[in-house]
Structure 1
Amino acid sequence: MRRVLASLLAVCVLVAVVTAAPTCPQYDGSTPVFFPDENDSSSFYECSNGRSVHMACPTGTVWNSNINTCDWPQSRK
């Protein structure tokens, strides 16, 4: 039983580490900091005073890291 619980705990920790939000700079600079949501192309993270805020793109658009904004899917190529 202990082995099963230990295995479940290890999996939970691994999932938490893999799905953790990105690390943001402590203070906002003159240029905003963005990170893509690796699990959802229509979402992204914006840093604000050391915290990452999960944001959603408008319907039908996806995050484009090349230009740091939501864009039409066909434009990302």
Structure 2
Amino acid sequence: MPKNIIVGMSGGVDSSVTALLLLEQGHHVTGLFMKNWEEDDGTEQCTAMEDLADAQQVCDKLGIALKTVNFAAEYW
């Protein structure tokens, strides 16, 4: 029986393959991107916007929705 499953999407290999395998098993998958920091941390590496773009690209390719939530205030 197919289940509704939310997968935390980073745009990386692990979450992307997880979503793909669940889809192949017939489940209804929704991606979830969590922003856990603010951009003003002084570095230009691995920005949340780049991560979000990667996650969106993967979800588009898989044909699944991507929801976003911002937890930066809770983390910092």
Q: Which structure is higher in helix share?
A: 2
Q: TM-score, normalised by structure 2?
A: 0.23
The structure showing larger relative contact order (alpha-carbon pairs under 8 Å, at least 6 residues apart) is: 2
